[in-house]
Amino acid sequence: METQDSQSPGNQPPPLNPDAIREFTEVLGSGNMPSVARKLMEALKTATYAKLDVAVAGEPGAGKSTFINAMRQVGDEDPGAAPTGVVDTTLDPTPYPHPRYPNITLWDLPGVGSPEFQAEGYLERVAFDRYDFFILLASQRLTYNLAQLARAIQRQGKKFYLVRCKVDVDLEASRRRRPGSFDAERVLGEIRRDCQDQLSRQGLSVPRVFALSNFERSLYDFPLLEETLEEELPGHKRQAFLLARPNNSLEVLEKKKAALEEQIWKLALAACTVNSVPVPGLPGLPTACEVAILADSLSDYCRSFGLERGALEELARELGLPQEEVQALIRSPLAQDITRGLVLQLLASGSQSAQLLFQYFRRAVPTFGTLAAAGISFAAIYLTLRTFLQHVAEDARRIVLLAQRQRGQRAGGPPRHPPPEPRGPAKASAPLPPAAAPAPPPPGPSISPS
């Protein structure tokens, strides 16, 4: 059985970067640890669960409800899906919370320009102030009504993103009509340019038009749209959006991992100082900690990387693979399997490395001594979170590569926007003692399909 104490050279945890060391030093030096830790937890929660309201508007039948289902990763027939189809029409702004991140709500707005909803007065009727930004959908030509709405949104000082959806239809038509000269990228370019031209004829401009299919979230401009939305959100909402993004590229995984890694020292500090109680049965490790904080964090890691039974079953269905083939790639416990017992097991198995990590923190963080006896608990918790996150991210990476292979085969070629390899860490790092390297966590409970 592998434990955290079984060292794997070269697989060392990234240490704190200089900014984190500075912040950590200041936090520890500010006194009254429980109150400081509580504030840290609140700040973390605010970033992770920031409220985000996204309005999805467009012509009747443009694909608004289908787009919302795609963003929420639910099928049109799943419970709670936005109703779609050729006859259904959304008449009132309807909220659709993200199934796993209910702090993020997509609002299905009535089609603009329908007899009931003319562009004039539309924004007032849909309570425009409620939304962080608008996504405007067009499925064919950009109509006068949509341009009017875009203008009104701009006047109100809100942002909108222009999406031209159903490009799968255009691509298929082009492929059929001109098989000899068919070039998907050229067709997409023409669609984007045409939308821009139509918009500028109406006296409007946007930096770019996103050409996508609601049926293919990992193709065409869908990933770019997600990337853009995330990057343009204010800081405290960006992380909430990132964590809810589907794990469809290695770059997304890397970003999630980096964002979660940055929080580990804060979580570890909160877990070892807020309401902490001695943890029994950990010989040689005087660990006192709030086990619930750890358990919640480990489940959150699984959730964000798609290591949940339901999500994996759904993925296997989508890829047309047996569930066992997908689950065979996963070595970590799933979100549903995180128990108090498992957390204690993980804490105990890393005790030797935790001692070494403790030495590292003592050297790297000038005020670390303030933690006194809680310092060793801090190190144990830090190591547990860090190791678990690494393994969850590795599992997710294997799943992403499998999904990309499958989708690529199905589409008969590479995706329009092949995901770039993740970039290396941006910040310089302080050296870590070699012995503090994490190794795989002990095997968790069975992950066999339910």
d(CA 221, CA 191): 12
Minimum gap (Å) between residue 125 Cβ and ligand GTP: 15
Q: Which of 85, 102, 322, 434 binds ligand GTP (CB under 6 A)?
A: 85
Minimum gap (Å) between residue 161 Cβ and ligand GTP: 16
Residue 90 engages ligand GTP in binding (rule: CB under 6 A): yes
d(CA 259, CA 243): 9
Minimum gap (Å) between residue 225 Cβ and Mg ion: 19
213 contacts which partner out of ligand GTP, Mg ion, none, CB within 5 to 8 A by kind? ligand GTP
Q: Which stretch binds ligand GTP (CB under 6 A): 15-23, 43-51, 57-65, 184-192?
A: 57-65
- The closest alpha carbon to 436, from 394, 392, 386, belongs to 386
300 neighbors 391 (Cβ within 8 angstroms): no
Smaller CB separation from ligand GTP, 61 or 375: 61
Residue 143 engages ligand GTP in binding (rule: CB under 6 A): no
Minimum gap (Å) between residue 170 Cβ and ligand GTP: 9
Residue 433: CB atoms within 10 A of its CB come to 16
d(CA 145, CA 118): 7
Smaller CB separation from Mg ion, 12 or 89: 89
Name the one residue in this structure whose structure tokens are 């017992």.
Answer: 341
Residue 83: CB atoms within 10 A of its CB come to 13
Residue 65 engages Mg ion in binding (rule: CB under 5 A): yes
223 contacts which partner out of Mg ion, ligand GTP, none, CB within 5 to 8 A by kind? none
Q: Which stretch binds ligand GTP (CB under 6 A): 5-13, 164-172, 198-206, 385-393?
A: 164-172
Q: Which of 9, 79, 86, 205 binds ligand GTP (CB under 6 A)?
A: 86
Residue 109 engages ligand GTP in binding (rule: CB under 6 A): no
d(CA 447, CA 450): 8
Residues within the interface to ligand GTP (CB under 6 A):
58, 60-66, 84-86, 88-90, 111, 165-166, 168-169, 213-215
